[in-house]
Structure 1
Amino acid sequence: MPGPCPETPEPVPGRCGFLEVPESREPHEPGGRGGRTIRLAVAVVPAVSATPAAEPVVFMEGGPGGDAFGSIPFLVASGVNRDHELIVMAQRGTLHSRPSLACPEIDRFNATAVGLRYDAPSTGRLLVRAARECRDRLTADGVELSAYNTTENAADFADLRRALGIGRWNVYGYSYGTELALTYLRLHPEGIRSVAIDSVVPPQIVSLPWTWDSAREGIGAIFSACAAQPQCRDRYPDLPRTLTEQVRRLEAHPLTVSAQPPGGGAPVKVVLDGGALVNLLVANAVKAVDVPAALDELAHGNPERFARAQAAGAAPVIGEVAHGLTQSVACSEWVPGHSEADLLQAGRRAFPGWPDTVLAQAPQLPFEHDVCRAWNVPDRTAVQRVATRSSVPALVVSGSFDAKTGASWGPYTARTLSRSTTVLIPGIGHFVVPQSPCAQSVLASFLARPTAPDTACVAGLEPQPFTIAPEPETA
C-alpha cells in the first residue's frame, strides 16, 4: 500500500509504502491466521540507468534488528541500484515497522555500560534487568515475541514479492541478512533469480560458540597481514602475544579513563577491561589498519584509541536498533543447544591463555544465556539450523578481516550452493560491498550475469598498509 517515506537522516530517494502481514502465520499461536497484523515499511529506489534490467534487487538488512532504511545511502553509493531497481523493506519489529521492537531500556544500559566492567556479573545483572523490562513492556502491548523469527521474516519477503507483482528478483543480504536470505531461498525459492550474500552467517552453524571461531579468524587475519608487511612486522613483531598480554593485564587491572567520543562532545568515563578490549576488536570499533598501532600504544601505557572507541557507545541512538528482534532471533535460534560450558570451551580453543572471565562471554552477545532465560521464547533450532541446498546462482562475498562472521564461513556455506561464486576481499571487515570498489564491481557483474561474474579485480588486491606509529619514548 503506498504511503509517505519515513523520516530518515538522508531522504529516501524513491517511493515508499507499507506491507501488511500476519504477526504470526502459525495458527496455534495467539495472533495466528486471521489475528493481529503488523506493518512493514517498504522503499522502492529507482535504477540510475535509463534502461534498467527487468529484475530488481531486494535487500535484507543485518542485525538481527538493524535499520534497513539506514543502509540505503551505502547501497546507492555502492551502485547496487545502478542497473536495477532497489527494494528495501524494514524487517518485522525494526525501526519504521509497526510495532517496533525497540528496547530503549537496553539502549540506556549500553550507554551506561561503557563505564562498567564489561564482563562483571553485576554488569550482566543490569543487562538482564533491562532486557526483562523491555520484554515485559512489549508483551503487555500484545506483541507475540515468538513470531519475530527468521521463518516469519522470510515469509514476509515472499509476501512482498507477490504484493509488488514481481515475477523474479535478485536477493542481496549481509550479516544476519545472509542467514535470512539463505532461509528465504530454502523456504521460498520461487521467483529468485540470484542470491548475493555478504559477510556470511550459515543458518546451520550459527551459535554462541561460533562467535569465538569468527573472532579468532578475523583478528588472526589482521595480525597475519601485518606480518606480511615488512614495516609493520618490524615495528610490531609479535601481535598475538601483545594482545594476550593486554587482555590478561586489563582483565586483572581494568583501566578507568576519561575519553572524548569520536563524534565530539563532552568526555565520558570509560572502563577498559579484557572483555571490553576484545569486544572492540571484534566490532571493528578501531579501524583494522590502526589495530597494531593501537595495541602497541596500549602496551606502552597509552589507551587513547581504544578508550575513544569505547566512548562512542555512550550516546546510542535510542530506538535505532530493534533489540527485541535481536533477542527473539538469538534466543530461539542461536543460543539453544549449546551450554555456557560449550561457549567457554570454544573460547579456550580460539584463544588459549586468555582469562576465563573473558572467554565466558560471547563477543557482541555478553551474558546471552542469562538474557535468554529472561526473554523466554521457544527453541526453534530444529527448523532453523538447516543448510540451504540450491542451484540458484549465488555470489558469496567475505572480507578477510571480518571478526564477526569469519571469512571461512563463505566457502563453507557455498558447498551446498551448486552454482555459487565465492569471493574473498583481503583487508576488509564486516559488510564488504560498501567498503570495496572491487566487491561493488563483482556484485554488478554478478547481477548482470549470475552464472559468470567477472571477479578479475580480486586477484590484485592486498590489504592497505597499516598505520606505523612513532616508537614510544623511553625514560
Structure 2
Amino acid sequence: MSLRPPHHRRTTRRLPAALAGATAGVLAAGLVAAPAHAESGPAAPLGTVARTAGHARFVPGPCPRTADPIPALRTANCGTLTVPETRDRHHGDHGGYGDEEHEGRKITLAVAIIPAATKNKAGDPIVWLAGGPGDDAVSEIPMALNGGLNRDRDLIFMSQRGTYSADPQLTCPNVDQFAADSLGLVFGAPSTGRLHVEETRKCRDRVVSRGADPSAYYGPESAADYDDLRKALGIRKWNVFGISYGTNLALHYMRLHPEGIRSVGIDGVLPPALAGGAVTWKAAREGYDGLFKACEDQPACNTRYPNLKATFERLVGEVEARPVTTTVTVPGHPAPVKVVLDGGVLVNWLASATHVAAGVPRSIDELAHGNPRRIAEQWAGGKLSPQAIGRTSHGLAYGIFCREWTPYESEADIVRAGQRLFPTFPRSVLVNAPFLTWLHPDCRAWDVPPADPSIRDRTYSDIPTLVLSGGFDAQTAPSSGAYAARTLSRSIAVTVPYVAHVVFADSKCAQTMTVSFFDRPDAPDTSCLAGLTPPAFEIAP
C-alpha cells in the first residue's frame, strides 16, 4: 500500500499538465535570475568531520548496509546523523526543538556522500529525497548516478527515519508477504481487506516493540532531520532533489525550513495539499488517458486496438463482477502461481504498467479475448520480486498516511473522486483508490493522532524550483506539477511526454534538464523536449 514505481522499472523503486495528448509543455512562472556561482564549501571533504548542530550530531563511520550491492559506496564518505525521535510538540508541525525532557529517545539515520565526478566541482551539493513513502534513499544511489546527477556536485543521501538503513528500521515484511500471498485472493473482497488490516496491526505491534513512537514518523519530523543534516555537515547552501513521495517531503521542507536551500527539483509531484486517495484517482485518469491517446494517434495501434479506453473500462466492470483466475510462472518461482484478476487489480496494474507502455494495448486486448496471461504475469512478478519484500518502511508510510492524509479526506471523498473520473466503475472498485487499498481501515488500526491542519498548507516560495512530470504518470498525476508550481514564484514546470512516474529514472531528456537546472536554476536546458517521440506499441499478429 504505497505510492511507488513498480519493481519492473530500472530503479530501486517505490510511492502533470500535458494530459491526454502528452505533449511537452513548459510553464514558466515568473522565474528570475538566480546566482549561477557555487557557494563556498567546507574546508574538509563532506562527511569526514564530526559536527553537532543543536540537538543533532553527525559522526563519520562505515557506509550503511544495503539490500543490493552499490559499488559507489566504496568511494563514498559515510556516517550517521543522530536526532531526537520526537521534537517538541508545542511547536506544532514546524519541527522545532524543545527542552530535553520533550525529546527523550534518539534515532540514527544513515548518511552516504558520493563525490562529484569532477575535481573542479561546485561547492553546493545536492541532497536526494527518496520516494515511497518508506523507501531508503541510499538504495536509490544508482538511479541518481545513472542520471549523471553527480557530474559536478557531491550527492548526499540520508535514510529517512524508519527506513531500511536507519535505526530503528521500521520495515514490516509481513505486510509485503501478505501482498504476495494474496495473489490468489479476490483483491477487493471485504475478507481480503480484513486480512490486510490484521497485517497492519501486526506491523504496528512490531514498530512499538522496537521502542518506536508511531506518531513520530511523518513529514515534518523528516524535514527537520534534513535541516539538521545540512547544519551538521557545515553546509551553508545546498540543492534538493526529490522524487515521488520525496516531492511531498521537499515541499514540506521548503515551507518549514527554507533557509539554506539554493534550488529544488521535484519529479513526480505529490503536493501535501492534495495527497490522498482522490488524487490517485486523478492520476490514474490522466496517466491512462495519456497512454490511450498515444495509441489512438498511432495508426497501427489504433487500427489493431480501436476504442482501447472503452475496452479497458468495460473490462474493469466485467472482471469485478466475475473475477478471472489463472496460473502463471514467475521468474525465480519454479512453482506455478495462482493469480486472481478483478477490477481493482486491473486498475492498479495499469497504473504501474504505464512504465512499460509499449505492451499495454496488446495486454488489454488479450484479456478482452480471454487471455489474462500477460497481465497476470506482470502483476504477480511485481508482488513476488525480491525488491518487494522487506525493504519498505511501513512504519514511516503509515505514519504519513494516517497523520497527514486520512484525517483530511474521508472514504466518501475518495469514492466521489473515483465516480467523477470513472463513472462506469462499480463502487467495490472505487472504495480502494489505486495504491491505497484499505487505507482508512488500516489507519484506524494504526491509531495515531492527526497532524496539525497546517500539514495541508500549500508551499509558497521564491526558491528556484524545477517541477517535472510525466505525460503517462498514473501515480501522482501530470497536473499536480502545474498545481504545485502555481505557488512557487520562481518555478519552471515541465511535462515530459510519453514517460511515466519519475521521469528522471527513465528519460535522458529529463536527466539533461535536471543537471542543467542545478547548474543554472534561471535557465535549464529544455531543448530536448522537441525531439521526443511516442513509444512504438506492440502489434499482435
Q: How do 1:290-309 and structure 2 match up within 5 A? A: 290-309=359-378
Q: Quote the residue 2:224 is aligned against.
A: 155
CA distance in 2, matches of 1:12, 1:148: 30
Q: Does 1:314 align with 2:384?
A: yes
Cα-to-partner distance string for 1:406-446 (whole Å, 9 max, x where unaligned): 11111111001111111111111111112101111101110
Deviates more, 1:263-272 or 1:64-73: 263-272
Query: Of the candidates 256, 260, 281, which is equivalent to residue 187 of structure 1?
Result: 256
Q: Quote the residue 1:17 is aligned against.
A: 79
CA distance in 1, matches of 2:78, 2:260: 22
CA distance in 2, matches of 1:397, 1:10: 29
Q: Quote the residue 1:473 is aligned against.
A: none
Task: Give the conservation status (yes or no) of the 8 Å contact 2:243–2:269.
Answer: yes
CA distance in 2, matches of 1:262, 1:357: 32
CA distance in 2, matches of 1:290, 1:263: 22
Q: How do 1:46-195 and structure 2 match up within 5 A? A: 46-195=115-264
Task: Give the conservation status (yes or no) of the 8 Å contact 1:114–1:314.
Answer: no
Q: Which amino acid aligns with 1:36?
A: R
Q: Does 1:204 align with 2:273?
A: yes
Q: Does 1:2 align with 2:2?
A: no
Q: % of aligned pairs identical? A: 51
Q: Which amino acid aligns with 1:22?
A: P
Q: How do 1:443-458 and structure 2 match up within 5 A? A: 443-458=514-529
CA distance in 1, matches of 2:255, 2:272: 11
Task: Give the conservation status (yes or no) of the 8 Å contact 1:24–1:32.
Answer: no
CA distance in 2, matches of 1:298, 1:358: 18
Task: Give the conservation status (yes or no) of the 8 Å contact 1:115–1:271.
Answer: yes
Q: Does 1:224 align with 2:224?
A: no
Q: Does 1:385 align with 2:456?
A: yes
Task: Give the conservation status (yes or no) of the 8 Å contact 1:93–1:325.
Answer: yes
Q: Which amino acid aligns with 2:505?
A: P
Q: Quote the residue 1:339 is aligned against.
A: 410
Q: Does 1:427 align with 2:498?
A: yes
Deviation at 1:118, TM superposition (A): 0.8
Q: Quote the residue 2:88 is aligned against.
A: 26
TM-score, length-scaled by structure 2: 0.84
Q: Quote the residue 2:36 is aligned against.
A: none
Query: Of the candidates 398, 405, 409, which is equivalent to residue 476 of structure 2?
Result: 405
Structure 1 residues not aligned, in runs of 5+: 471-475
Q: How do 1:340-379 and structure 2 match up within 5 A? A: 340-379=411-450
Give the aligned CA root-mean-square deviation in angstroms: 1.6
Task: Give the conservation status (yes or no) of the 8 Å contact 1:293–1:469.
Answer: yes
Cα-to-partner distance string for 1:371-403 (whole Å, 9 max, x where unaligned): 000001111150210111111100000000010
Q: Quote the residue 2:5 is aligned against.
A: none
* Residues 32 and 66 of structure 1: CA distance in aligned 2, closer, same or farther (over 3 Å): farther
* Residues 194 and 238 of structure 1: CA distance in aligned 2, closer, same or farther (over 3 Å): same
Deviation at 1:454, TM superposition (A): 1.1
Task: Give the conservation status (yes or no) of the 8 Å contact 2:291–2:354.
Answer: no
* Residues 31 and 61 of structure 1: CA distance in aligned 2, closer, same or farther (over 3 Å): farther
CA distance in 1, matches of 2:104, 2:355: 46
Deviation at 1:265, TM superposition (A): 3.7
Q: Which amino acid aligns with 1:10?
A: P
SS at structure 2 position matched to 1:21: strand
Deviation at 1:224, TM superposition (A): 0.7
Q: Does 1:261 align with 2:330?
A: yes
CA distance in 2, matches of 1:21, 1:457: 42
Task: Give the conservation status (yes or no) of the 8 Å contact 1:203–1:386.
Answer: yes
CA distance in 2, matches of 1:297, 1:318: 30
Deviation at 1:247, TM superposition (A): 0.7
SS at structure 2 position matched to 1:260: strand
Deviation at 1:179, TM superposition (A): 0.7
Cα-to-partner distance string for 1:47-100 (whole Å, 9 max, x where unaligned): 111211111000000011012122111110110111110000100000000001
Q: Quote the residue 1:41 is aligned against.
A: 110
Cα-to-partner distance string for 1:304-324 (whole Å, 9 max, x where unaligned): 111101212135543200111
Cα-to-partner distance string for 1:107-163 (whole Å, 9 max, x where unaligned): 221111211111100100011000001112222332111110100000000000011
Task: Give the conservation status (yes or no) of the 8 Å contact 1:26–1:33.
Answer: yes
Q: Which amino acid aligns with 1:112?
A: D
Deviation at 1:284, TM superposition (A): 2.8
SS at structure 2 position matched to 1:390: coil
SS at structure 1 position matched to 2:330: coil
CA distance in 2, matches of 1:377, 1:408: 31
* Residues 263 and 173 of structure 1: CA distance in aligned 2, closer, same or farther (over 3 Å): farther
Cα-to-partner distance string for 1:430-473 (whole Å, 9 max, x where unaligned): 11112101111101110100011111111221222211112xxx
Q: Does 1:241 align with 2:303?
A: no
Count how many residue pairs are aligned between Structure 1 and Structure 2: 470
Deviates more, 1:285-294 or 1:81-90: 285-294
Q: Quote the residue 2:53 is aligned against.
A: none
Deviates more, 1:335-344 or 1:320-329: 335-344
Task: Give the conservation status (yes or no) of the 8 Å contact 1:170–1:194.
Answer: yes
Task: Give the conservation status (yes or no) of the 8 Å contact 1:216–1:350.
Answer: yes
Task: Give the conservation status (yes or no) of the 8 Å contact 2:355–2:499.
Answer: no
Structure 2 residues not aligned, in runs of 5+: 1-58, 91-97
Q: Which amino acid aligns with 1:3?
A: G
CA distance in 1, matches of 2:332, 2:352: 17
